[in-house]
Amino acid sequence: MNEFTVEGGALHAEKVALADIAREVGTPFYCYSRAAFEERYQTFSSIFEGTPHLLCYAMKANSNQAILTTLARLGAGMDVVSEGELRRALAAGVPGEKIVFSGVGKTEPEMAFALDAGILCFNVESEPELEHLSQVAVAKGTRARISVRVNPDVDAGTHAKISTGTYANKFGIPIDEAPRVYERAAKLPGIEITGVDMHIGSQITDLKPFDRATARLAALARQLMGQGHKLTHIDVGGGLGVVYQRDNRPPPSPHDYAQTILKHTGGLGLKLVFEHGRLLAANSGVLVTSVIYVKQGAGKRFVIVDAAMNDLIRPTLYDAYHEITTVQSPATGAKLGKVDIVGPVCESGDYLAQNRDLPPVESGDLLAVHSAGAYGAVQAGEYNTRPLIPEVLVDGERWAVVRARPSYEAMIRADIVPPWLALK
Ligand SMILES: *Cc1c(COP(=O)(O)O)cnc(C)c1O
């Protein structure tokens, strides 16, 4: 299933030609397919039909309100990592009881806000956090529902910057220490234990890490229940990988993933909670950009485009591969040539692709950077005073700008020159 297809020699999002959007909105822009989000959400849900479960979309992957609303209408929960994300989820109509709160640095005001919102669960990542949370809850005359996020010490075999499940990184509590931490949690007046939690990393393309880590988490849940702790759910995190490069070995299907998880959790009698982000979002969006110049360097050809690392930082930050195609299909027999596709930002790290085969392009041609729906727009910034690029949502034949490009005036006005500095 792919909602970004070529029809009549032109790349479309569902039924809308990307070139038509480009003409009206200008480039660069992100374009998302509503149907793609829905299809991925429903596929995942249907696989777990018959098993009590809740898919809490990890909204840091793509937190546009139109996307959150799309998923909220389908019944999704949300995994949030800040008060800002929690406020977005609530504004999109996600009920508090479907929201889990992850992250190593929750502040007391964030805890208080989340308690008022009646969230399903705090995924607690340290003992100091546990104590602060208890105090905040007691002050409010309530108790905070918690899971301890354990670190199962399993290497997810993914890029170092998106691996979270080994003892070498800051996330979670070592699984060996978890029973003691749960004992402590049970004695705190503001804490109500409800589950166990993990998240071992992102873009995981092999089932073995999920297998090992879920076995450990399920064993912990069993042990805790045996010791008298009342659990209601087991949160196995997110991280299932997606296809970025079509000729690579494909990541495990959600179906095979489900078999791996259920093998360990099946007999526990606990509700399953998932925190997938990329799985729903990555291939539900593209980034459309225009060629500004083609520059022949000494031995290298550069295609300079109007999107840059400030709009999509994944290639620079994670060495990520994104397929890049022309929006208008090349003439049959067009010869491919090796190019670097780079942005206008003044950094050597500013590239979208290196040593990539591309048909001949010229100034004004449109390119599509595929699989850009996750960790794209959300990580964008205004470096080089480049306006954040618009986001568009397509639904069948209709489309709408779901985040507008800011004006230069608004960007400049956001800074404040103190009166004592202003020119007379
Ligand atoms: C980022 C994150 C996720 C989502 O990861 P994906 O690879 O996008 O599925 C889930 N849980 C936590 C705690 C995260 O930090």
The per-residue pLDDT for range 42-98, each reduced to its tens digit, is 999 999 999 999 999 999 999 999 999 999 999 999 999 999 999 999 999 999 999
The per-residue pLDDT for range 86-119, each reduced to its tens digit, is 999 999 999 999 999 999 999 999 999 999 999 9
333 contacts: CB under 8 Å, gap ≥ 6: none
pLDDT, position 240:
98
With 70 as the cut, is the pLDDT of residue 1 above it?
A: no
pLDDT, position 368:
98
User: How many whole angstroms from its chain centre is CA 191?
Assistant: 29
- Who wins on pLDDT, 171 or 244? 244
**What is the CB < 6 Å shell around ligand 1?**
58, 60-61, 79, 102, 199, 202, 237-239, 275-279
Atom of ligand 1 nearest to the CA of 374: 8
- Averaged confidence pLDDT in the chain: 96
Is the model's pTM score more than 0.85?
yes
Question: pLDDT band for position 161 (50/70/90)?
Answer: confident
Cα 2 to averaged position of ligand 1 atoms, centre (Å): 23
pLDDT, position 12:
98
pLDDT, position 411:
98
| Strand pairing class (10-13; 16-17) | antiparallel
Cα 122 to averaged position of ligand 1 atoms, centre (Å): 15
With 70 as the cut, is the pLDDT of residue 414 above it?
A: yes
Cα-based angle 222, 227, 228 (whole degrees, multiple of 5): 100
108 vs 125: CA distance, rounded Å: 14
Protein residue with its CA nearest to atom 1 in ligand 1? 58
Cα 384 to averaged position of ligand 1 atoms, centre (Å): 29
Mean pLDDT of 262-285: 97
User: Which domains does the chain carry?
Assistant: 4-31+283-413 (2.40.37.10), 33-281 (3.20.20.10)
Atom of ligand 1 nearest to the CA of 275: 10
In the chain, % of residues over pLDDT 90 = 93
pLDDT, position 167:
74
260 contacts: CB under 8 Å, gap ≥ 6: 207, 210, 211, 214, 252
88 vs 65: CA distance, rounded Å: 7
The per-residue pLDDT for range 132-160, each reduced to its tens digit, is 999 999 999 999 999 999 999 998 887 77
Mean pLDDT of 21-45: 98
402 contacts: CB under 8 Å, gap ≥ 6: 32, 64, 65, 66, 67, 391, 392, 393
- Of 40, 62, 63, 102, the one to substitute when testing ligand 1's pocket (max ligand atoms within 8 A of C-beta) is 102
Cα 161 to averaged position of ligand 1 atoms, centre (Å): 12
pLDDT, position 168:
74
pLDDT, position 171:
87
With 90 as the cut, is the pLDDT of residue 163 above it?
A: no
Give yes or no: 346 in active site: yes
pLDDT, position 72:
98
* CB contact at 8 A, 373 and 31: no
With 70 as the cut, is the pLDDT of residue 131 above it?
A: yes
The per-residue pLDDT for range 282-328, each reduced to its tens digit, is 999 999 999 999 999 898 999 999 999 999 999 999 999 999 999 99
